[in-house]
């Protein structure tokens, strides 16, 4: 291994199935694999078939903010500012602990914000200042 960050480990490797490290070969980034491409890493969201508890069949009313998130998503899609595929990509990109901790619509609003940042519709500075302004108005601490 020649480098490591949160998501990727970079190996010198000879190709699929090669287990010996060969420093003479070019460095390749093996994204999504943890040992010289021998063991692919499963993304956290891609959990179909993994052990899980029983499905809880519960009905609940949506909170007003959840309805607003849904409306925001519909409007932004209609105006061409985001696509559902970008939303999914950004939800899947959440770190596992955030993915587990956040509720359904919390994941949605996170994905909306990230999509708009990636597209340049808003800037992080604009969003941060607006969040500060609203927190002051509502008397809450961020």
15-18: long-range contacts at Cβ-Cβ below 8 A with a sequence spacing of 24 or more?
Answer: none
Contact between 68 and other proteins per CB under 8 A: no
CB nearer to other proteins: give 14 or 33. 33
Q: How far is the CB of 30 from other proteins (least distance, A)?
A: 9
Whether the CB-CB separation of 107 and 90 falls below 8 Å is answered with: no
Q: For residue 9, which phi and psi values (nearest 5 degrees)? A: -115, 140
Q: Of the candidates 19, 22, 103, 118, which one interacts with other proteins according to CB under 8 A?
A: 118
Contact between 38 and other proteins per CB under 8 A: no
CB nearer to other proteins: give 62 or 118. 118
Strand order in the sheet with 3-4: 3-4, 9-12, 27-30
CB nearer to other proteins: give 66 or 119. 119
The closest alpha carbon to 80, from 121, 127, 117, 125, belongs to 121
Contact between 31 and other proteins per CB under 8 A: yes
Q: How far is the CB of 121 from other proteins (least distance, A)?
A: 11
The closest alpha carbon to 27, from 8, 39, 41, 12, belongs to 12
**Contact set with other proteins (CB under 8 A):** 7-8, 31-33, 40-43, 46, 48-49, 83, 85-86, 88-89, 92, 118-119
């Amino acid at each position: 291994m020649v480098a490591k960050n949160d998501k990727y480990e970079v190996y010198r490797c000879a190709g699929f199935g090669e287990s010996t490290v060969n420093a003479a070969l070019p460095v390749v980034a093996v994204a999504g694999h943890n040992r010289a491409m021998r063991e692919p890493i499963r993304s956290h969201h891609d959990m179909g078939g993994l052990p899980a508890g029983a499905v809880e069949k519960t009905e609940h009313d949506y909170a007003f903010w959840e309805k607003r998130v849904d409306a925001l998503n519909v409007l932004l899609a209609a105006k061409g500012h985001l696509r559902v595929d970008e939303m999914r990509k950004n939800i899947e990109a959440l770190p596992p602990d955030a993915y587990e901790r956040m509720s359904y619509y919390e994941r949605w609003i996170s994905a909306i914000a990230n999509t708009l940042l990636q597209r340049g519709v808003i800037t992080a500075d604009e969003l941060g200042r607006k969040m500060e302004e609203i927190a002051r108005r509502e008397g809450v601490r961020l």
